[in-house]
Amino acid sequence: MNEPRAGQMRELLRDAAGYWERRRTLFNLTLAAVVLAWVGLTWPHFRDALTPRSFFLLLILALAANACYSLVYLVDIPIQRSSFASSWRRIRRPVWLLVTALAILATNYWIAAGVYPYVGQ
């Protein structure tokens, strides 16, 4: 692959950001819904866990989830420059759905295995 010119790189970044950033809010809302569902459906179990420290840790985890979400650019930009670019644009949505599903699984696992057993003890 040849090095892209500055204008080409800007266009690749604009295309990637235009797609992925519009979906970041839905990604975040989906993970927030998972957390709220755990708290709501298992309420009084989590009552004692709602402390300023736990909200700070939740913020750190939300930032980590968003950092992981941003890794998609490491895949998107090189693929856009390859011969698979048109195919990639068609499968971006299934990739987003898969990434979001994996994040939901990771969130559920983290709560079920890492938080839930220790809350209320």
Rg of the chain over Cα atoms, rounded to whole angstroms, equals 18
Residue 15 has pLDDT above 90, yes or no: yes
Task: Give the number of domains in the chain.
Answer: 1
DSSP class of residue 103 equals H
Residue 22 belongs to a domain: yes
pLDDT digits (tens, 9 = 90+) for 34-59: 999 998 998 888 888 788 888 888 89
Residue 88 belongs to a domain: yes
The model's confidence at residue 2, banded by pLDDT at 50, 70 and 90, is: low
Transcribe 10-34 into DSSP letters: HHHHHHHHHHHHHHHHHHHHHHHHH
Mean residue pLDDT of the chain comes to 90
Residue 1 belongs to a domain: no
pTM (2 decimals)?
A: 0.85
Residue 32 belongs to a domain: yes
Q: Helices H, strands E: what count in the chain?
A: 4, 0
Residue 95 belongs to a domain: yes
